[in-house]
């Protein structure tokens, strides 16, 4: 009677035996046969078989100890067929005392498996995908112990890597085995930043290829794992305390992290794997693979979300193990970055000269990651469901942000087509470049001033390229978001000065810190809020923390060095806030003058109109301001009560709709009546069709992401504003939820290049 459990302590030696058997060389099949024999012996099993997934999804018996040898490479099961199919489907082990009793059991006479009852099968997982199944069987009916299941899973993980590394299967056979998704796939998502790109996939959260699967010294490895886990736990605890953090994650997410990080089950699985001879990195991969395979199938969005939390936690743990806190990696040329989501600062860590595109599983058009992508002119498609499971590092990938699609491993004809479209775009860009110095007048002679949104040094070169007439919105918080610690006075003043120098005579509108909402700083303590978008953010924070705001104003005044200065306050929801903000500016100017420093030669202080309350109090606001700018991103989110960062609702409402356009019309009229300069600086100003509607409503200053300037200028040059005005105003009183189609039809009549 075989004794079970012998293998537990022998796991390392088993893995070592396998290594040695492989080192002996010989044909692949012989080595594979040897491996199953060693496993059978070590697990005290009468049968050990390995099934691999063929490209079509069929499972084929690749090697066996104990079953009929003639069945090898002959026995094949259709996808989902038999116990092996069941394991592939579930992605987790099946442990049965009496296999033939199971409803999924499929009898294959050629294998001679009649006498065997006890059955344990585990998937060979790579990156959360099952690529094969490893089975042990015994005659006697019994359930395998938890330790045995764990042992077999570890062996399966090692085998999966060996198979993938070509150590166990001939090259020819390997071609027929589906190790990674290889079929071309087309995923439909949403367009976040316009453009096209073709390149190779780079995973933002890369799976660690455990080249070193087996540890040399279990005790040392355990200590290393424990140290990394404690480091991770301490870091997350600290982040929760609001002392120091890494990401823009909300309190709830962090709290879930903390729960997982301290979860005994998770820690134990990792420790077991290390005790059994894996390196700490390989242990993380093993546990991750299992979670992915299990939770990845869950339909329940809550469970899937938990999987994401776990994934992040695994990535963090790997970073702790490697001792490298950085997110970004070296990029190959023509890199397409693949991520679940990105914090606004993450993207900036990558080498922009090599980054061609960005694909996200989540996100929304108005999220700051998308805004940064647009600012950097990196084509980006988001909300690609299941993306990360479908793409492997190094896969060729197309980002089609014109249609909001991604092509994974595209067929040659698709590549040819995309290349042709890229050429057309390049030609159009060249045309836009030719327009660079042409002032933007409509056909009927109305001047439209096109400005650029910016927030970082990198934007300054682009100012020249686009031919924008100035910077209509400089998001000063970006400097804060990309920094590891709070930028001090000198750093702030230096950036503002560089911006003003680069802009020369062109005006720059500096917006004071717009933090809070989805822009959370790791080093700035922030309380947990149920509704951050409606919470303590922007000017509210500035007025409550006047020291922070005053320091920034002081830096702006110092940087101006007596030149004209334009300052704008974000999210003014009440005229008193603007009054208070303006008073601080004056206090700071007086402060500078008392010290003999020059005051700006001209000072313009403006407010952003992005809280709906202001639309009905413009009569009070406008006389106190020198200018206003409409932040349509926020105005939309507040008017439609739809969180701009929540993919489910963010793009549900159309700015080209009667209620929104009427609000815009009201703002424009109030400004025209009082002679207050007004611009629009939300993302819609950079989209030709939306910009067309704005011009029709009478807006004459538009500030937009750099890539919008060319197309919008082309629109302006070919547009008849008076005809556009008549057409659009007729649509404002309609009863439709969206008038996009009607505006498009109108635009086509009035100008051609929509």
Which entry of ligand PEP, Mg ion, none binds 473, CB below 5 to 8 A by partner kind?
ligand PEP
First-to-last alpha carbon distance for the chain, in angstroms, is: 79
**Catalytic-labelled residue, pool 48, 380, 671, 681:** 681
Containing 501, the helix (H) or strand (E) segment is: helix 489-503
**Residue 631 touches Mg ion, criterion: CB under 5 A:** yes
Binding segment toward ligand PEP, per CB under 6 A, in 146-154, 211-219, 240-248, 627-635: 627-635
**Residue 477 touches Mg ion, criterion: CB under 5 A:** no
Alpha-carbon distance of 162 to 19, in angstroms, equals: 10
**Residue 365 touches ligand PEP, criterion: CB under 6 A:** no
Extract the runs of DSSP E, i.e. beta strands, from 432-573: 449-454, 471-475, 508-511, 565-569
Q: How far is the CB of 610 from ligand PEP (least distance, A)?
A: 5
Alpha-carbon distance of 38 to 10, in angstroms, equals: 12
As a residue count, the chain comes to 754
Tokens 């089975």 correspond to 135
Catalytic status, residue 368:
yes
Contact string (CB under 5 A) for Mg ion, positions 582-621, x = contact: ----------------------------x-----------
Alpha-carbon distance of 61 to 167, in angstroms, equals: 17
> SS3 for 569-599, per residue?
ECCCCCHHHHHHHHHHHHHHHHHHHHCCCCC
**Residue 643 touches ligand PEP, criterion: CB under 6 A:** no
Nearest partner of 260 among 220, 288, 222, judged by Cα: 288
345, exposed or middle or buried, with CB in 10 Å at 0-12, 13-18, 19+? Answer: buried
Q: How far is the CB of 683 from ligand PEP (least distance, A)?
A: 7
Residues 6+ apart with CB under 8 A from 114: none
Which entry of Mg ion, ligand PEP, none binds 137, CB below 5 to 8 A by partner kind?
none
Q: How far is the CB of 447 from ligand PEP (least distance, A)?
A: 22
Nearest partner of 342 among 314, 361, 317, judged by Cα: 361
Q: In this structure, are strands 129-138 and 196-203 parallel, antiparallel, or unpaired?
A: unpaired
**Residue 682 touches ligand PEP, criterion: CB under 6 A:** yes
Binding segment toward ligand PEP, per CB under 6 A, in 36-44, 114-122, 214-222, 632-640: 632-640
Among 281, 610, 690, 700, binds ligand PEP (CB under 6 A): 610
Alpha-carbon distance of 729 to 713, in angstroms, equals: 22
Tokens 């736990």 correspond to 233
Alpha-carbon distance of 174 to 739, in angstroms, equals: 55
Nearer to ligand PEP, 215 or 632 (CB): 632
Cβ atoms of 42 and 17 closer than 8 Å: yes
**Residue 341 touches ligand PEP, criterion: CB under 6 A:** no
Binding segment toward ligand PEP, per CB under 6 A, in 176-184, 252-260, 629-637, 687-695: 629-637
Q: 512 phi and psi, to 5 degrees?
A: -70, 165
Catalytic status, residue 262:
no
Among 276, 392, 633, 679, binds ligand PEP (CB under 6 A): 633
Token duo for residue 95: 């442990």
**Residue 542 touches Mg ion, criterion: CB under 5 A:** no
**Residue 634 touches Mg ion, criterion: CB under 5 A:** yes
Q: How far is the CB of 631 from Mg ion (least distance, A)?
A: 4
Number of residues that bind ligand PEP (CB under 6 A): 10
Nearer to ligand PEP, 160 or 608 (CB): 608
Nearer to ligand PEP, 164 or 373 (CB): 373
Q: How far is the CB of 163 from ligand PEP (least distance, A)?
A: 49
Residues 6+ apart with CB under 8 A from 129: 180, 181, 293, 389
- The residues in 464-483 that bind ligand PEP, with binding defined as CB under 6 A, are 473, 475
Nearer to ligand PEP, 71 or 380 (CB): 380
**Residue 507 touches ligand PEP, criterion: CB under 6 A:** no
**Catalytic-labelled residue, pool 368, 380, 671, 719:** 368
Cβ atoms of 480 and 512 closer than 8 Å: no
Token duo for residue 15: 């893995």
The contact set with ligand PEP (CB under 6 A) reads 473, 475, 514, 610, 631-634, 681-682
The contact set with Mg ion (CB under 5 A) reads 610, 631, 634
Catalytic residue numbers, as ranges: 368, 681
């Amino acid at each position: 009677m075989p004794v079970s459990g012998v293998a537990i302590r022998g796991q390392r030696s088993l893995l070592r035996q396998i290594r040695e058997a492989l080192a002996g060389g010989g044909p692949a099949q012989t080595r594979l046969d040897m491996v199953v024999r060693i496993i059978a012996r070590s697990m005290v099993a009468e049968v050990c078989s390995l099934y691999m997934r063929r490209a079509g999804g069929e499972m084929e018996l690749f090697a066996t100890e104990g079953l009929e040898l003639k069945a090898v490479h002959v026995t094949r099961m259709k996808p989902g067929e038999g116990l092996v199919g069941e394991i592939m489907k579930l992605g987790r082990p099946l442990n049965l005392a009496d296999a033939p009793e199971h409803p999924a059991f499929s009898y294959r006479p050629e294998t001679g498996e009649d006498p065997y009852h006890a059955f344990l099968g585990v998937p060979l997982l790579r990156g959360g995908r099952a690529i094969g199944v490893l089975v042990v069987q015994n005659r006697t009916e019994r359930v395998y112990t938890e330790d045995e299941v764990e042992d077999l899973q570890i062996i399966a993980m090692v085998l999966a890597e060996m198979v993938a590394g070509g150590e166990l299967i001939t090259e020819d056979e390997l071609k027929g085995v589906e190790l990674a998704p290889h079929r071309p796939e087309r995923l439909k998502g949403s367009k976040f930043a316009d453009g096209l790109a073709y390149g190779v996939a780079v995973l933002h959260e890369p799976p660690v290829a455990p080249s070193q699967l087996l540890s040399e010294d279990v005790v040392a490895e355990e200590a290393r794992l424990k140290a990394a886990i404690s480091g991770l736990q301490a870091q997350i605890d600290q982040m929760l305390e609001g002392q120091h953090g890494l990401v823009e994650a909300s309190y709830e997410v962090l709290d879930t992290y903390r729960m997982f990080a301290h979860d005994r089950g998770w820690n134990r699985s990792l420790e077991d794997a290390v005790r059994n001879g894996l390196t700490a990195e390989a242990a993380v991969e093993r546990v991750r693979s299992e979670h992915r395979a299990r939770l990845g199938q869950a339909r329940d969005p809550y469970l899937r979300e938990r999987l994401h939390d776990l994934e992040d936690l695994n990535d963090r743990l790997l970073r702790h193990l490697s001792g490298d806190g950085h997110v970004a990696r070296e990029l190959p040329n023509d890199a397409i970055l693949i991520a679940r989501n990105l914090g606004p600062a993450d993207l900036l860590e990558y080498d922009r000269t090599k980054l061609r595109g960005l694909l996200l599983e989540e996100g929304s058009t108005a999220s700051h990651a998308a805004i940064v992508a647009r600012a950097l002119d990196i084509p980006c498609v988001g909300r690609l469901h299941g993306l990360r499971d479908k793409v492997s590092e190094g896969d060729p990938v197309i980002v089609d942000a014109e249609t909001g699609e991604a092509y994974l491993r595209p067929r040659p004809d698709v590549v040819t087509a995309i290349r042709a479209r890229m050429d057309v775009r390049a030609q159009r860009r060249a045309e836009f470049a030719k327009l660079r110095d042409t002032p933007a007048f409509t056909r009927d002679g109305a001047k439209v001033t096109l400005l650029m949104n910016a927030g970082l040094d990198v934007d300054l070169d682009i100012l020249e390229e686009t031919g924008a007439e100035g910077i209509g919105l400089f998001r000063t918080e970006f400097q804060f978001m990309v920094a590891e610690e709070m930028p001090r006075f000198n750093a702030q003043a230096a950036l503002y000065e560089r911006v003003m120098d680069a802009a020369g005579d062109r005006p720059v509108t500096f917006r004071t810190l717009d933090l809070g909402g989805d822009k959370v700083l790791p080093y700035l303590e922030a309380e947990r809020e149920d509704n951050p978008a409606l919470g303590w953010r922007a000017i509210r924070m500035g007025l409550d923390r006047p020291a922070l705001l005053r320091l920034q104003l002081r830096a702006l005044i110092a940087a101006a060095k007596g030149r004209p200065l334009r300052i704008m306050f974000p999210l003014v929801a009440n005229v008193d806030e603007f009054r208070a903000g303006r008073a601080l500016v004056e206090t700071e100017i007086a402060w500078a003058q008392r010290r003999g420093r020059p005051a700006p030669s001209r000072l313009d202080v403006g407010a952003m109109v992005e809280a709906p309350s202001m639309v009905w109090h413009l009569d009070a606001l406008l006389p106190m301001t020198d200018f206003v700018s409409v932040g349509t991103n926020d105005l939309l989110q507040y008017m439609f009560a739809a969180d701009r960062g929540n993919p489910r609702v963010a793009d549900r409402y159309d700015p080209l709709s009667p209620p929104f356009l009427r609000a815009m019309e009201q703002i424009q009229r109030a400004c025209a009546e009082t002679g207050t300069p007004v611009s629009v600086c939300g993302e819609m100003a950079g989209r030709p069709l939306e910009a067309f509607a704005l011009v029709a409503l009478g807006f004459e200053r538009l500030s937009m992401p750099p890539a919008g300037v060319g197309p919008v200028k082309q629109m302006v040059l070919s547009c008849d504003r008076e005809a556009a005005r008549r057409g659009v105003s007729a649509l404002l009183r309609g009863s439709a939820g969206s008038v996009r189609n009607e505006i498009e039809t109108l635009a086509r009549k009035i100008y051609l290049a929509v």
